[in-house]
Amino acid sequence: MLIKLQNLEGILPVKLYLPFDQEKVTIIIPTMGKEIPSRSEDYSLWYNELVKKADLAEHSDVRGCMVIKPYGYSIWEKMQQALDAMFKETGHLNAYFPLFVPKSLFEAEEKNAEGFAKECAIVTHYRLKNDPQNKGKLMVDPDAQLEEELVVRPTSEAIIWSTYKKWIQSYRDLPILVNQWANVVRWEMRTRLFLRTAEFLWQEGHTAHATADEAVKETVQMLEVYAEFAEKFMALPIIKGRKSEGERFPGAVDTYCIEAMMQDGKALQAGTSHFLGQNFANAFDVQFTNKEGKLDYVWGTSWGVSTRLMGALVMAHSDDDGLVLPPKLAPIHVVIVPIFKHEEELNKIAEKAKEITASLKKQGYTVKFDSRDTHKPGFKFAEWELKGVPVRLAIGPRDMENGTVEVARRDTKEKQVMKIDEVATKIPALLDEIQENIYNRALTFRTNLTTKVETYDEFKKVLDEKSGFVLAHWDGTPETEAAIKEETKATIRCIPLDAVEEAGKCIYSGKPSNKRVIFARAY
């Protein structure tokens, strides 16, 4: 027996199967294919499904590696464009260094090499041959072993500093301000789309300076660039800070970072900028003659952000209906969905859409007119919401009569009716408002999930019951940090640059402390 109940007050179609001849009663509620799990049910499942369903990325046939799909890559390109302009603005130029690093170079800076040793991919051979035992198959040619193994770069300091040695003789050759957009490989045990994959895309800036002071200024400057990018473009509120010794980049003297909070209360490092001191100059013997005619080692910095920012973008703003993209990074700003019965009607609407598109395009916005007649409007609405397009315009016969459009914003789901003539002026303003709104929403969220605690008990309770950032006093020792991490899984995300000086006691050891640091569980 089959009872079919359909479209009950707008609910999804429901079919009730009542097999009286069986003991069990099965109720089947068909899913619509594009639906994603809710955040509250299973946050990480929500994230994974959203990334896939919104066409950002998918798993590849290579373990731990992802395919970034065109829509996802468009967003990354937007990020690249914005960042690249900022790098150029601050005097940097792009260059490209090899993917492979000879092992001897790689191991030159010991701490750095040690830090990455456990997750390096290594090239040992340069040729395959037909397998005599196994027809049609290939095998590594044992006669084609490399004299020196090549490390696939997990980061490029080694190859770059060995090159800088050739470029630098005098203070007149400094500073060197270079950035590269590249892929790197870190052989991760556990991977997640965008957040942690074996191969990922990033940019890495590598600069060389005559003085420590100048290098530190560069480090801080690039941190500011990242902070500005995160807040202005990604609408992502961040906290600028320095890493504790335990969380510092291997090979760096000082690591600065921007830390963001995701909707599940976990922290995510969104960018890092390192003051390398003279560590790499020492390791690669990069010396220059200074103005006084004396030899000195060069001071370095390096800084980077990766496709991990894509993960941050998703986890910071999106909701159960799909992506919520900040207009400044959205590949499509406005989608126009026509509502029509006949082709004739569609043509009329298309004309209007063309006008609207032209007026917005002139102002630098990307507009998509979704004229597919293979899908109904409701389907399109849901689809563009899933993809996070900030503004949707719907134009139907009624609108054509009244000279109006229906405007829906993705961030709040609010709809309003607007005069068509006003679209060209009001939509840009609306996009700005959306950009601001999602930033503010994320900031409010973070503020609500930021807690000051005085005792270790309180600390643990907040972590378990509330999550988020916990501001607490710390005695500054790696031992305390390690113990807290061991017991609670929370790490020191950063020592905020704007931390207020205040006398207090370390929550763990009770020793004196003069400012609070940010603890959180992190990605």
Please give the residues from 286 up to 315 whose contact with RNA meets the rule CB under 7 A: 306-308
376 binds RNA (CB under 7 A): yes
Q: What distance in Å separates the CA atoms of residue 328 and residue 351, rounded to the nearest whole number?
A: 27
- Using the minimum distance from each CB to RNA, give the nearer residue, 288 or 519: 519
Contacts of 10 (CB under 8 A, 6+ apart): none
Decide whether 231 or 296 has the Cβ nearer to RNA: 231
Q: Which residues pair with 156 in a beta bridge?
A: none
Report the residue number, 294 or 342, with the smaller CB distance to RNA.
Answer: 342
Query: Amino acid identity, residue 317?
Result: H
Q: Does 37 bind RNA (CB under 7 A)?
A: no
Is 143 one of the binding residues for RNA (CB under 7 A)? Answer: no
Part of the chain binding RNA (CB under 7 A), chosen from 79-87, 357-365, 376-384, 473-481: 376-384
119 is a contact residue toward RNA (CB under 7 A): yes
Out of 55, 149, 406, 475, the residue judged to bind RNA by CB under 7 A:
406
Minimum CB separation of residue 118 from RNA in Å reads 6
Query: Is residue 399 close enough to count as binding RNA by CB under 7 A?
Result: yes
Interface residue with RNA, options 413, 452, 466, 511 (CB under 7 A):
413
CA atoms within 13 A on the CB side of 484: 31
Span interacting with RNA, options 129-137, 157-165, 188-196, 437-445, rule CB under 7 A: 188-196
- Percent helix, strand and coil across the chain, each to the nearest 5: 35, 30, 35
For residue 167, report the phi and psi dihedrals to the nearest 5 degrees: -90, -20
Contact 271, 263 (CB under 8 A): no
Task: Supply the minimum distance, in Å, between the C-beta of residue 308 and RNA.
Answer: 4
Interaction of residue 48 with RNA, rule CB under 7 A: yes
CA distances 77 to 364, 384, 436, Å, are 16, 20, 22
Q: Contacting RNA (CB under 7 A), which of 165, 192, 217, 426?
A: 192
Instruction: Identify the burial level of 65 via C-beta atoms within 10 angstroms of its C-beta, where 0-12 means exposed, 13-18 middle and 19 or more buried.
Output: middle
Distance in angstroms (rounded) separating the CA atoms of residues 290 and 376: 71
For residue 155, give the nearest of 304, 14, 293 by alpha carbon.
Answer: 304
Residue 45 CB, nearest approach to RNA (Å): 6
The binder of RNA chosen from 71, 181, 379, 456 (CB under 7 A): 379
Select from 129-137, 197-205, 460-468, 495-503 the region that touches RNA (CB under 7 A): 197-205
Nearest in space to 519 (alpha carbons), one of 477, 483, 468, 479: 468
Q: Enter the tokens of residue 36.
A: 């994603």
Angle between helices 308-317 and 423-448 (to 10 degrees): 90
- How many chain residues touch RNA (CB under 7 A)? 73
Residues paired with 297 in a beta bridge: 287
Tokens of 292: 């006084």
Q: Using the rule CB under 7 A, is 225 a contact of RNA? A: no
Largest CA distance in the chain: 98
Of 166 and 190, which CB lies nearer to RNA in the complex structure?
A: 190
Find the shortest distance in angstroms from Cβ 147 to RNA.
Answer: 27
Kindly tell me which residue out of 398, 419, 452, 466 binds RNA, with binding defined by CB under 7 A: 398
Looking at the Cβ atoms of 354 and 511, the one nearer to RNA is 354
Q: Which residues contact 367 (CB under 8 A, 6 or more apart)?
A: 332, 333, 334, 335, 336, 356, 357, 360, 361
- Helix, strand, or coil (residue 20): coil
CB contact at 8 A, 271 and 230: yes
Question: Strands 287-289 and 57-59, how do they pair?
Answer: unpaired
Nearer to RNA, 65 or 499 (CB): 65
Please count the CA atoms within 13 angstroms of the CA of 15 that sit on its side-chain side: 7
Within 61-80, which residues bind RNA (CB under 7 A)?
63-64
Among the candidate windows 164-172, 215-223, 231-239, 370-378, which touches RNA by CB under 7 A?
370-378
Q: C-beta of 373: minimal distance to RNA in Å?
A: 5
Per CB under 7 A, 321 contacts RNA:
yes
HEC string of 347-385 equals HHHHHHHHHHHHHHHCCCCCEEECCCCCCCHHHHHHHHH
**CB contact at 8 A, 492 and 480:** no
* Residue 111 binds RNA (CB under 7 A): no
Distance from chain centroid for Cα 393:
29
Options 141-149, 161-169, 191-199, 418-426: segment touching RNA (CB under 7 A): 191-199
Among candidate residues 201, 240, 211, the one with its CA nearest the CA of residue 223: 240
Q: Pick the stretch among 135-143, 165-173, 218-226, 334-342 that binds RNA (CB under 7 A).
A: 334-342
Least spacing, CB of residue 338 vs RNA, in Å: 8
Tell me how far, at minimum, the Cβ of 418 lies from RNA, in Å. 11
Least distance (Å) from RNA to the CB of residue 319?
12
- Closest to RNA by CB, 69 or 192: 192
Mark 473-502 with x for binding to RNA (rule: CB under 7 A) and - for no binding. Answer: -------------x--x-------------
Q: Which is nearer to RNA, 188 or 228 (CB)?
A: 188
- Site membership for RNA, residue 188 (CB under 7 A): yes
- The amino acid that residue 4 corresponds to is K
Q: Does 419 bind RNA (CB under 7 A)?
A: no
Choosing from 1, 21, 33, 166, the residue that interacts with RNA (CB under 7 A) is: 33
- Which is nearer to RNA, 359 or 371 (by Cβ)? 371
